[in-house]
């Protein structure tokens, strides 16, 4: 069982629908939380007791490394990384321009890969001291089931899931657990803030709190993979 009481946690995408609830849920369980997102005003408005509010655009060169450095300074180390930042795009694959393809890969693969790379030494140190540490990486159901009209987003999320699976094997012997999370469509409002295109009509999604409760249960129970089917009934 993973105990979050006293854990030092960095949450990216903390002003988003899932990130804010994850930050709040971990704080309620006794964690010391640093929250990060692109919009400082929205971060400050969060109803989360945070050790620091660190605005960051993880797409920018050096930003993941700078964020990890600032978070570990604020917390005195890092026991848990939660990556929940992202954006979605819609439209035909053959009409996606280079800027959109680059942005999806930056947001959903390169930024989290760089973030985890920067966090790894701190997570290793925590695992040595505490007997284990954790990275929670939010991917999406489209990593398992690519969706027409969401090719760039689907491919970038699939890249993240593949990266998570490989690095989880590499870090497991060092007691750093990497939990790849692939929730189904969730009513976070993300589709209404797409960086390109318009969302097609979708069935009713999962309630964000139900999704977060399932993630927090996986954290507590030391689960190592959370597929879309793990949210059935939530």
Number of C-beta neighbours around residue 202 at 10 A: 10
Contact 164, 139 (CB under 8 A): yes
pLDDT of residue 1: 63
Give the pLDDT means over successive 10-residue stretches in the chain (234 positions): 91 94 97 95 91 95 97 98 92 94 95 98 96 96 94 96 98 97 89 78 87 97 96 77
Provide the pLDDT for residue 199: 78
pLDDT in the model for residue 53: 96
209 class by beta-carbon count within 10 Å (0-12 exposed, 13-18 middle, 19+ buried) = middle
Give phi and psi for 109, each to the nearest 5. -130, -60
- Residue 202 has what pLDDT? 75
The angle at the Cα of 68, spanning 60 to 83, to the nearest 5 degrees, equals 75
Q: How far is CA 125 from the centre of its chain?
A: 21
**Nearest-5° Cα angle at 196, 102 to 193:** 115
């Amino acid at each position: 069982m993973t105990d979050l009481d006293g854990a030092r946690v960095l949450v990216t995408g903390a002003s988003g629908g899932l990130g804010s609830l994850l930050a709040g849920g971990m704080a309620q369980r006794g964690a010391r939380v640093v929250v990060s997102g692109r919009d400082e005003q929205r971060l400050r408005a969060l109803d989360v007791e945070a050790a620091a509010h660190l605005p960051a655009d993880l797409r920018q060169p050096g930003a993941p490394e700078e964020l990890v450095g600032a978070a570990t300074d604020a917390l005195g180390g890092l026991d848990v990384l939660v990556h929940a930042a992202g954006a979605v795009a819609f439209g035909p694959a053959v009409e996606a321009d280079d800027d959109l393809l680059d942005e999806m890969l930056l947001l959903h693969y390169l930024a989290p890969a760089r973030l985890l790379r920067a966090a790894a030494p701190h997570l290793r140190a925590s695992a040595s001291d505490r007997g284990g540490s954790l990275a929670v990486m939010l991917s999406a159901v489209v990593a398992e089931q690519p969706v027409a009209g969401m090719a760039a987003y689907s491919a970038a999320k699939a890249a993240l899931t593949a990266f998570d699976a490989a690095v989880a094997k590499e870090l497991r012997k060092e007691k750093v657990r990497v939990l790849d999370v692939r929730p189904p469509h969730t009513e976070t409002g993300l589709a209404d803030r797409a960086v390109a295109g318009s969302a097609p009509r979708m069935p009713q999604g999962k309630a964000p709190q139900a999704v977060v409760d399932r993630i927090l249960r996986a954290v507590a129970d030391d689960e190592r993979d959370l597929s879309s089917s793990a949210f059935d009934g939530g």
